[in-house]
């Protein structure tokens, strides 16, 4: 179902973690720059009730990460996204500098 997300992860050389969350799904990827994304769709996420996605920027590692609210991309979660929009933002996150700046 998430072929585009798996293709994106392969292209970026990262592991895509797909897991159930609150009756929906979470897709999580961490990039070599220390940032990553959590893309969720469930009844409590922005847009989840209509099949859209919410994206949060993460900071840390695959083993231990936390939400990050201070990058050039956003200072909050981003909701009401289709999967392609979420993956476009994930691509931007993969290119952030170590201090959260867009190149």
Is residue 103 a part of any domain in this protein? no
Q: Which pTM does this prediction carry?
A: 0.95
Is residue 101 a part of any domain in this protein? no
Give how many domains the chain has, as a whole number: 1
Q: Where are the beta strands (DSSP E) in the chain?
A: 17-21, 24-30, 35-41, 53-60, 65-67, 78-81
How many CB atoms are located within 10 Å of the residue 2 CB?
15
The ranges of the chain with pLDDT < 50 are none
Is residue 30 a part of any domain in this protein? yes
pLDDT in tens, 3-32: 999 999 999 999 999 999 999 999 999 999
Start-to-end CA span in the chain (Å): 32
Secondary structure of residue 90 in the 3-state scheme: helix
Question: What is the model's pLDDT at position 103?
Answer: 87
Question: What is the model's pLDDT at position 32?
Answer: 97
DSSP label of 45: S
What tokens were used for 45? 């996420």
């Amino acid at each position: 179902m998430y072929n585009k997300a798996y293709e994106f992860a392969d292209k970026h050389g990262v592991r895509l973690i797909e897991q159930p969350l609150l009756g929906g799904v979470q897709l999580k990827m961490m990039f070599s720059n220390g940032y990553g994304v959590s893309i969720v769709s469930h009844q409590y996420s922005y847009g989840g009730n209509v099949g859209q996605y919410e994206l949060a920027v993460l900071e840390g590692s695959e083993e231990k990460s936390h939400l990050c609210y201070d990058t050039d991309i956003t200072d909050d979660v981003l909701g009401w996204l289709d999967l392609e929009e979420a993956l476009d933002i994930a691509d931007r996150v993969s290119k952030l500098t170590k201090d959260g700046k867009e190149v």
